[in-house]
Amino acid sequence: MSQVLIESIEAIIVDLPTIRPHKLAMHTMQKQTLVVIRLRCSDGVEGLGESTTIGGLAYGNESPESIKQNIDSHLGPLLLGQDAANINAAMQRLDKAAKGNTFAKSGLESALLDAQGKRLGLPVSELLGGRVRDSLEVAWTLASGDTAKDIAEAEQMLEARRHRIFKLKIGAGEVNRDLKHVIAIKQALGDSASVRVDVNQAWDESVALRACRILGDNGIDLIEQPIARINRGGQIRLNQRSPAPIMADESIESVEDAFSLAADGAASIFALKIAKNGGPRAVLRTAQIAEAAGIALYGGTMLEGAIGTLASAHAFLTLRQLTWHTELFGPLLLTEEIVSEAPVYRDFHLQVPATPGLGLSLDEERLAFFRRP
């Protein structure tokens, strides 16, 4: 059997409208920008990948524009002519030649996995070790900032059986007002839903010590990244003192970060994000570190579209235990799709296809309409 080679790689920036603004502590998203990757092989198989950021450079070191430029100028050319079926060798080649760039690398690894799955007639989850579940429970972010509206939205989601886990983005506002808002929502929903918060590093340690105690004492299940990722000592102290578990998110920008956090005891939950680890295979290395250290897992998101969401989902399907479920609601935030088969959400879960590759194909007309010139 002759070797299958990578013939071309195209990175396409796509701007898609959202159902509402999505507010973080450091930025408010008015739309979502995806970098869609098309990797074509000598046997005619095409693999799809996606690299998506939240808020561009306001959040991290990569932007959609830098991702496309680095794939076009540096990462893509390194893969041309390489064995398309040897994903391990291809990704090691990228890691040796380029530091960081985990978002770009994640999209490329996803595309290689999608192509190989199509080539072998296997879903990506089987290439990653084998699924142990077929669907993933998905959280939803309540983001109006209006307590009554957020409660009504959560109740509608519960009634429709779409979500029963709710996360609130806080930290941009005055802390006491944020706490009052969150606690009122939890009191209204009671035991029918899990309520969690994401602070996106907005608090200092002195504020976080008090706020985490209040949140935990009022039934909030999880507190995500309350203080700056560089304050490792503060993270350790918070993790020891908070009555609600602390989840590391921005603190994990690589597999090596995950090892260091676990060794220091700086978090009791890890948010798994393929984009921040360098791909579906890489994020499973972080998961293995967490499991060995007794740290619980949560399937995180960069609010990817359908391609990136399913690339994450196929990896998460293989995990032995996903205690805190997932946040793979990115496609539900979009008003438009660029794939022919939109992801299916039913009975609080994302249903993950068992068809070859990621289980998606592009809608060429919609892609052409929304791609950036």
In whole angstroms, what is the distance from residue 125 CA to residue 127 CA? Answer: 5
**Residue listed under structure tokens 């089987």:** 126
In whole angstroms, what is the distance from residue 294 CA to residue 213 CA? Answer: 23
Residue 65 annotated in active site: no
Structure-block tokens of residue 235: 């993270």
Q: Tell me, what DSSP letter sits at residue 14?
A: E
Q: How many CB atoms lie within 10 A of CB 194?
A: 20
Structure-block tokens of residue 85: 């079926």
Residue 169 annotated in active site: yes
Structure-block tokens of residue 8: 């071309």
Tell me which residue of 264, 370, 289 sits closest to 272, measured CA to CA: 289
Tell me which residue of 233, 148, 249 sits closest to 198, measured CA to CA: 249
Q: Which whole-number Å values give the CA distances from 355 to 119, 254, 281, 308, in the listed order?
A: 12, 30, 19, 16
Q: Which of 68, 105, 167, 169 is catalytic?
A: 169
Tell me which residue of 235, 251, 186 sits closest to 214, measured CA to CA: 186
Tell me which residue of 140, 182, 138, 143 sits closest to 25, measured CA to CA: 143
Q: Tell me, what DSSP letter sits at residue 5?
A: B
Q: Which of 137, 304, 327, 337 is catalytic?
A: 327
**Based on the number of CB atoms within 10 Å of its own CB, is 73 exposed (0-12), middle (13-18) or buried (19 or more)?**
exposed
Q: How many CB atoms lie within 10 A of CB 61?
A: 12
In whole angstroms, what is the distance from residue 154 CA to residue 185 CA? Answer: 9
In whole angstroms, what is the distance from residue 361 CA to residue 365 CA? Answer: 12
Q: Are strands 222-224 and 194-198 parallel, antiparallel or unpaired?
A: parallel
Q: Which residues are part of the catalytic machinery?
A: 169, 327
